[in-house]
C-alpha cells in the first residue's frame, strides 16, 4: 500500500515536472513566468513530500540502525542523496533561482523500493507451491476409535499410530503406512508426475495424495504437522544457509561499497568543475543509484530459492542449500543396496528348520532395529530387554534372561555362533540366489533364519543409465553378502562391494574425497548415516530411517532413483545461472559507473537501469520455477 500510494504522488510530481519543463511553450510575459514557476515548484514540493515520508522513513530507519552499529551501507547513501536533492530543491525554490530535483528524489525512492519488492515477490512465488500443498489436506479424516467405531476428526487431531480409513476419491490426511486395501494414488504434489502409483499393504502414502479406486486403511506414521508437507514448508521458509558463492557476493558488495564512495567523490568533483553544484549533485546521485546492490543481492539467493522450490515440486527436498553448490562438482555416485537400489518384496518369511517362537523373537528384534527391513515384519508380540542396535550389523537384546541377536549371518559368524546343518544349507542356497537373510541366535546357537526377496526398484536402471551418461562413476557399497551384491551389480553392469561394515563404507568415501573425487551417496538406513554425513552430498530416501534423513543433505520424497540425476542436472544448471547472474551484475556496474561519473547518465535513468538489472537476474533465476530442473544437463 505504501508503494502504491507513493507511486500515485510520484505521478503527480512527474506531471508538474513536465509542465515546468514545457513552460517555454506557454506565452507568458516576464512578470507572470516566475509566479507560475513558483506555483509549480510548490506543487512539486507538496506532492514529493508524502513520497519521502512514506518510503524514505523506512529506509532512514534502516540507515540509522546501521549507523548505530558503526556501519554505513547503501541505505545511508540513498538517504543522503535523496534528502540532499530534496533539500537543495527547497532552497532553490525559496531563493527563486537554480534547478529543482523533486522529481528525481521522488522517483528514485519509488524505483528503489520497487526493486527491493522484487525479491519479496520472487520469494513468495517460490513459497506459493508449498502453500498450495496445505490446501490438499481433507477437511476431515476417518479415524478408528478404541471401541472400533469410525469417527470423523480434523486431520490435525490425528496422532502417530492412529488407524485411518481413506475412501476412493478422498485426500490422504497424514503420512500413512497402508495396512489393508489396494488402490492407486495420485502424489503429483510430491513427485511432479501425474501418473497414478499402485498402492498396497506396507506402502507409505504421503499426506495430500488422492486415493483412487479402492478403500485403504493405514496407520499414521507422521501427522500433517510433522510429515513430508511440514518438512517442505519449514525448509522453504527458513533463511538460506550461506554458500561459497553467496559469501563471494557479500565480499563483492563490500568492495562495491568502497568503490562507490570513491566514485561518488570523483563524480562530485568532476560535476562541480563542469557545471557547479547542480551537476555535481546529479552525477553523485546517479553513482549512488547505480551502485544500489539490488541485482547483486538478488543474483544468488533468489537463484537458490527458486531451484529449491522447483526441486520440491519434483519430489526432491534440499535440506542443506550448500549441497546444491557441491553437487555441481560430483564425480562419483555411491548407492546403498537394501532399501535404496532394491526394495523388499512381501514379508520376511521363516525358513524351515527354526521354531515359530524363535522366529517371533527374530521379528521382535528386527522391528526394533530401526533398519528399513523393520517394515517387513508385523508389530512384535514380544518385547526384548536391553536392546542395543549395531548399525549395519544387527540388534541384540534379552528374552527371559537369555542373550539374543538378530542380524546378518556374517555378524553372527563374528560372534562364533553355531549353525545347525539345515539352516547352514539354507543360508548357502539363498545367498547364491541373491536373497537377503536375517539370522537369529540365542545363547550362541542360530535358531531361526528369515528370508526376504529383494527386487530392483523400477527406476534403478534408468537412473543408473542417466548417471553413467553424465560420465559419473557408479558403485554399490553394501553390508549385504558379496554374492547378493554381485547378483544385483552384474545385472546393472556396475561395480559393487558387499560385506562392508559402516566403518568400511566410511573409509572408502573418505579416500575418494581425499583423492579429489567429490562423492554423492544415496542411502536409507541407520548404518548409512555416517557415510551420508562424510560425502560431499548425502541423499536419503524418503522411506528411510529418521537417522538417514537427519544426516542427509537431500531427501528423495517418493523413493524414485531418477531424482538423483535430476538433482545433479539442476545443480549444474544452477551453477550456470549463478555465474551468469554475477557476470551480468559486474558488467552492468562497470558500464553504468562509467556513464554516471562522466555525466552521461541522469539519476532517473540510473534508477531505471538498476531496476532493469534486477529484473534480468530475477527472470533468469525464476526460470527454475517454470521449467523442470532436470531438463538441462
What angle in degrees, to the nearest 10, is found between the helix axes of 102-134 and 32-51?
30
| Alpha-helical regions (H) of 96-243 | 102-134, 188-191, 228-237
Say whether 528 is catalytic.
no
Residue 401: CB atoms within 10 Å = 7
Give the start-end residues of each E strand in 338-379.
Answer: 342-350
β-strand 495-497 against 473-477: which pairing, if any? parallel
Return d(Cα 22, Cα 28) in angstroms, integer.
12
Under 8 Å CB-to-CB from 518, ≥6 apart: which residues? 326, 329, 330, 331, 332, 536, 537
All three cell numbers of 367: 522391528
- Three cell numbers written together for 86: 530534496
DSSP labels, 74-102: HHHHHHHHHHHHHHHHHHHHHHT-S---H
Residue written as grid cell 526432491: 316
390 in Cβ contact with 408 (< 8 Å): no
According to DSSP, the residues that pair with 14 across neighbouring strands are: none
Q: Give the cell for residue 343.
A: 526394495
Q: Count the neighbouring beta carbons within 10 Å of the beta carbon of residue 562.
A: 24
- Cα separations (Å) of 403 from 365, 382, 398, 462? 12, 15, 5, 45
Detail the DSSP E strand segments found in 272-424. 316-318, 332-335, 342-350, 385-390, 394-399, 402-407
Strand, coil or helix: 150? strand
| CB neighbour class for 253 (10 Å; exposed up to 12, middle 13-18, buried from 19) | middle
Cell of 438: 536375517
Give CA separation, 392 vs 224, 369, 556, in Å: 31, 10, 21
3-state class of 476 per DSSP? strand
- Tell me the CA distances in angstroms from 400 to 354, 366, 384, 450, 530, one per residue in order: 19, 18, 8, 22, 34
Cell numbers for 593, please give them: 559507473
Q: Among 162, 175, 336, 559, which one carries the catalytic annotation?
A: 336
| φ, ψ at 26 (rounded to 5°) | -95, 140
- Are the CB atoms for 530 and 593 separated by under 8 Å? no
Report the DSSP beta bridge partners of residue 178.
Answer: 218
293/446 Cα distance (integer angstroms):
69
- Catalytic sites, residue numbers: 336
Amino acid at each position: 500500500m505504501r508503494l502504491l500510494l507513493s507511486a500515485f504522488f510520484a505521478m503527480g510530481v512527474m506531471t508538474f515536472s513536465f509542465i515546468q519543463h514545457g513552460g517555454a511553450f506557454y506565452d507568458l510575459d516576464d512578470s507572470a513566468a516566475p509566479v507560475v514557476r513558483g506555483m509549480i515548484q510548490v506543487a512539486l514540493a507538496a506532492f514529493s513530500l508524502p513520497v519521502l515520508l512514506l518510503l524514505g522513513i523506512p529506509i532512514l530507519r534502516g540507515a540509522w540502525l546501521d549507523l548505530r552499529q558503526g556501519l554505513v551501507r547503501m541505505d545511508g547513501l540513498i538517504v543522503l542523496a535523496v534528502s540532499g536533492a530534496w533539500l537543495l530543491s527547497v532552497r532553490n525554490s525559496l531563493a527563486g533561482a537554480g534547478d529543482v530535483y523533486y522529481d528525481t528524489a521522488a522517483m528514485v525512492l519509488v524505483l528503489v523500493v520497487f526493486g527491493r519488492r522484487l525479491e519479496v515477490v520472487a520469494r513468495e512465488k517460490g513459497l506459493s507451491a508449498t502453500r498450495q500443498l496445505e490446501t490438499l489436506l481433507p477437511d476431515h479424516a476417518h479415524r478408528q476409535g478404541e471401541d472400533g467405531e469410525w469417527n470423523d476428526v480434523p486431520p490435525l487431531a490425528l496422532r502417530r499410530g492412529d488407524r485411518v480409513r481413506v475412501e476412493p476419491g478422498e485426500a490422504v490426511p497424514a503420512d500413512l503406512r497402508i495396512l489393508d486395501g489396494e488402490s492407486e494414488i495420485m502424489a503429483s504434489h510430491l513427485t511432479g508426475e501425474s501418473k497414478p502409483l499402485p498402492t498396497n499393504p506396507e506402502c507409505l502414502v504421503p499426506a495430500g495424495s488422492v486415493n483412487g479406486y479402492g478403500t485403504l486403511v493405514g496407520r499414521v506414521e507422521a501427522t500433517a504437522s510433522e510429515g513430508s508437507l511440514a518438512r517442505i514448508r519449514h525448509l522453504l521458509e527458513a533463511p538460506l544457509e550461506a554458500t561459497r558463492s553467496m559469501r563471494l557476493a557479500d565480499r563483492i558488495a563490500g568492495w562495491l561499497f568502497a568503490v562507490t564512495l570513491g566514485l561518488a567523490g570523483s563524480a562530485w568533483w568532476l560535476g562541480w568543475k563542469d557545471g557547479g553544484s547542480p551537476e555535481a549533485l546529479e552525477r553523485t546521485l546517479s553513482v549512488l543509484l547505480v551502485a544500489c546492490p539490488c541485482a547483486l543481492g538478488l543474483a544468488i539467493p533468489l537463484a537458490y530459492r527458486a531451484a529449491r522450490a522447483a526441486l520440491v515440486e519434483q519430489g526432491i527436498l534440499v535440506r542443506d542449500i550448500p549441497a546444491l553448490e557441491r553437487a555441481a562438482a560430483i564425480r562419483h555416485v555411491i548407492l546403498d543396496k537394501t532399501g535404496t537400489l532394491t526394495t523388499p518384496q512381501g514379508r520376511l518369511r521363516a525358513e524351515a528348520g527354526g521354531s515359530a517362537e524363535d522366529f517371533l523373537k527374530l521379528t521382535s528384534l528386527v522391528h526394533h532395529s530401526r533398519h528399513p527391513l523393520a517394515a517387513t515384519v508385523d508389530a512384535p508380540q514380544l518385547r526384548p530387554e536391553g536392546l542395543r542396535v549395531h548399525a549395519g550389523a544387527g540388534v541384540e537384546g534379552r528374552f527371559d534372561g537369555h542373550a539374543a541377536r538378530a542380524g546378518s549371518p556374517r555378524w553372527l559368524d563374528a560372534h562364533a555362533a553355531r549353525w545347525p546343518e539345515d539352516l547352514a544349507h539354507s543360508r548357502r542356497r539363498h545367498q547364491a540366489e541373491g536373497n537377503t537373510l536375517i539370522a537369529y541366535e540365542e545363547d550362541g546357537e542360530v535358531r531361526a533364519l528369515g528370508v526376504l526377496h529383494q527386487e530392483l526398484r523400477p527406476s534403478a536402471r534408468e537412473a543408473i543409465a542417466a548417471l553413467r551418461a553424465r560420465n559419473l562413476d557408479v558403485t554399490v557399497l553394501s553390508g549385504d553378502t558379496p554374492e547378493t551384491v554381485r547378483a544385483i551389480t552384474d545385472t546393472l553392469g556396475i561395480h559393487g562391494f558387499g560385506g562392508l561394515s559402516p566403518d568400511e563404507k566410511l573409509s572408502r568415501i573418505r579416500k575418494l574425497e581425499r583423492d579429489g573425487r567429490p562423492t554423492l551417496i544415496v542411502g536409507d538406513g541407520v548404518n548409512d548415516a555416517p557415510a551420508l554425513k562424510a560425502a560431499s552430498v548425502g541423499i536419503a530416501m524418503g522411506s528411510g530411517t529418521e537417522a538417514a534423513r537427519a544426516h542427509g543433505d537431500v531427501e528423495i520424497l517418493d523413493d524414485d532413483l531418477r531424482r538423483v540425476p535430476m538433482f545433479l542436472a539442476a545443480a549444474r544448471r544452477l551453477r550456470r545461472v549463478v555465474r551468469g547472474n554475477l557476470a551480468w551484475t559486474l558488467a552492468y556496474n562497470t558500464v553504468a559507473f562509467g556513464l554516471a561519473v562522466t555525466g552521461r547518465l541522469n539519476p532517473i535513468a540510473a534508477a531505471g537501469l538498476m531496476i532493469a538489472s534486477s529484473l534480468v537476474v530475477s527472470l533468469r533465476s525464476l526460470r527454475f520455477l517454470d521449467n523442470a530442473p532436470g531438463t538441462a544437463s
